[in-house]
A and B are shown apart, each in its own frame.
Chain A
Amino acid sequence: MDSSSLSSAPGLGTVDPQLQHFIEVETQKQRFQQLVHQMTELCWEKCMDKPGPKLDSRAEACFVNCVERFIDTSQFILNRLEQTQKSKPVFSESLSD
């Protein structure tokens, strides 16, 4: 039994490293796909008025900006949460306050 075939989940025994890698790659791909679905939906509301014969350059630019700003927003929230957590914890770690 070589160490490279040991899975990260204890008690599972050996997991095929090929499957393990596959799961990791596909999970990553799915996270990407899900975000594309979500952002397309959100940005459609912000960038599309009436569907025309093609996506004009203004709408296209709007979609690109929308994606960038969405990611900026996500990062901003994470950063600020990390900062405010240090002084005033929002999520308490113990059940008794």
Chain B
Amino acid sequence: MEGGFGSDFAGSGGGKLDPGVIMEQVKVQIAVANAQELLQRMTDKCFRKCIGKPGGSLDNSEQKCIAMCMDRYMDAWNTVSRAYNSRLQRERANM
């Protein structure tokens, strides 16, 4: 098996990249990107729902609304994910 110089980080030793390490790094980057995407959309939606005319600070009701909104957005995301997955499986079963 090639690339056996060191498995601590890719590219160590003789210049051969360990595929296993690359794959793990890529998975982490993908997970981070997805979390950022989720946060960005959640912030957008909850700002729209909870903030009326922007005041000098976030008052208590706005903060409570944002907190609830975050949880509901996660619920929605999970519901959509499940529904989409079911649909995909149904499509595959029909092929």
Residues in A neighbouring B34, C-beta threshold 8 A: 33, 37
Q: How far is the CB of A15 from chain B (nearest CB, A)?
A: 10
Q: How far is the CB of B58 from chain A (nearest CB, A)?
A: 15
A67 touches B41 (CB 8 A): no
A40 touches B23 (CB 8 A): no
Q: Find A30's partner among B30, B71, B85 (CB 8 Å cutoff).
A: B30
Residues in B neighbouring A37, C-beta threshold 8 A: 34, 37-38, 41, 77
- Size of interface on B: residues with Cβ below 8 Å to A: 31
> In the docked arrangement, what's the CA distance between A24 and B76, Å?
28
Q: How far is the CB of A56 from chain B (nearest CB, A)?
A: 10
- In terms of DSSP, what is the predominant structure of the interface of chain A? helix
A50 touches B80 (CB 8 A): no
Residues in B neighbouring A33, C-beta threshold 8 A: 34, 37
- Size of interface on A: residues with Cβ below 8 Å to B: 33
Residues in A neighbouring B69, C-beta threshold 8 A: 51
A18 touches B87 (CB 8 A): no
Closest A-B pairs by Cβ, 9 of them: A67-B83, A51-B69, A55-B75, A51-B72, A63-B79, A64-B83, A51-B68, A40-B80, A40-B77
**B residues within 8 Å of A by Cβ?**
19, 22-23, 26-27, 30, 34, 37-38, 41, 45-46, 49-50, 65, 68-69, 71-73, 75-77, 79-81, 83-85, 87-88
> Can you list 20 A-B pairs, Cβ within 8 angstroms, ordered by A?
A22-B23, A32-B85, A35-B84, A36-B84, A37-B34, A37-B37, A37-B38, A41-B41, A44-B45, A44-B73, A44-B76, A47-B76, A48-B49, A51-B49, A51-B69, A52-B68, A54-B72, A55-B79, A63-B80, A67-B80
